[in-house]
Structure 1
Amino acid sequence: MESNVVKGLVGFAIVMAVGFVIVGTTRETPQEKIQGAFLQTSNLLSSLALDKCTEAVKNEVGTHPYSPSESDSDHVKYVTLIWNNVGSAKRAECRYIMDQGITLLKIDDRTVIEKEAATTVAPAAPRPAHHQ
């Protein structure tokens, strides 16, 4: 009986050791890291847009909008959300741009917020001076 218990414990230890070796030797490739970062950025952008736009529409219409009827996004920089039949409004449209916030909020034919989207171009680096 004791030999079966010992064999079972040794077998379990071997399985655990093999598992640790497999997990320890598996590494993320650079492509998998990039895909993970892209998914995190996309998820963050969508969550921020939904939170901020839902709040803005609720403040204007007085009714909490739930799932948007339509959405459009590049998954990196902007998200546009559209709700149909929210409270007294037939259509509510909201565009959220990363690092700029809400740049467009339209309730039916009335434009509540409209900001020019800033381009994020880095200034040219100064040229090094030549010393003689």
Structure 2
Amino acid sequence: MESNVVKGAIGFAIVIIVGFVIVGTTRETPQEKMQGAFLQTSNLLSTLALDKCTEAVKTEVGTHPYSPSESDSDHVKYVTLIWNNVGSAKRAECRYLMDQGITFLKVDDRTVIEKDAVAATGSETSPPAQDR
């Protein structure tokens, strides 16, 4: 009986040691780390754009817009969201730039917000033009 307990303890210790070796030798590669950071940035950008643009459209139209009908993004710097048939508006378009907020908001034919996007170098740029 005592030998079975010893064998069990030795077996358990071996499993624990093998587990530590596997965990210790499995490391994220730099490429995997970059992919993880890209996904986190893209998710943060999309979440911020959806929150801020939804609130801005709701303020202008008076109705809460739900899922955008269309979206466009480079997944790093900007997101453009378009809602069709939101309350009394036929079309609402909003562009959100990382670190700059909403730079463009248009409800039907009325432009509510239009700001020039300023690049980190100080030159003025904007994301690709959307079909309007």
Letter in 1 for 2:32: E
Amino acid at match of 1:92: A
Count, aligned residues: 123
Task: Give 1:84's aligned residue.
Answer: 84
Question: Matched residues in 2 for 1:63 and 1:32: separation?
Answer: 42
Residues 1-20 of structure 1 mapped to structure 2, 5 A cutoff: 1-20=1-20
Q: 1:93 aligned to 2:93?
A: yes
Q: 2:88 is aligned with what amino acid?
A: S
- Aligned-residue Cα RMSD (Å) equals 1.6
Q: Tell me the distance in 1 between the aligned counterparts of 2:122 and 2:28.
A: 31
Match of residue 126 from structure 2: none
Residues 61 and 2 (structure 1), Cα distance of their counterparts in 2 relative to 1, 3 Å cut? farther
Normalising to structure 2: TM-score of the pair?
Answer: 0.85
| Match status 1:109 vs 2:109 | yes
- Residue 24 and residue 120 in structure 1: after superposition, are their counterparts in 2 closer, same or farther (change >3 A)? same
Shift of 1:122: 6.2
Large movers: runs of 4+ above 6 Å? none
Counterpart-to-counterpart distance in 2, 1:85 and 1:13: 64
Larger C-alpha radius of gyration, 1 or 2? 1
How far, CA to CA, are the matches of 1:100 and 1:117 in structure 2? Answer: 8
Calculate the TM-score normalised by the size of structure 1: 0.85
How far, CA to CA, are the matches of 1:75 and 1:84 in structure 2?
A: 22
The one-letter amino acid paired with 1:109 is: D
Mean CA deviation greater in 5-14 or 52-61: 5-14
Equivalent residue for 2:127?
none
Tell me the alpha carbon deviations over residues 53-87 of structure 1, each in whole angstroms, 9 at most, x when there is no partner: 01101111111111111110000100000111111
CA distance in 1 between counterparts of 2:64 and 2:36 reads 32
Residue in 1 that maps onto 2:23: 23
Mean alpha-carbon deviation: is it higher for 1-10 or for 49-58?
A: 1-10
Q: Identity across aligned pairs (percent)?
A: 86
SS in 1 for 2:118: coil
Residue 87 (structure 2) pairs with residue 55 (structure 1): no
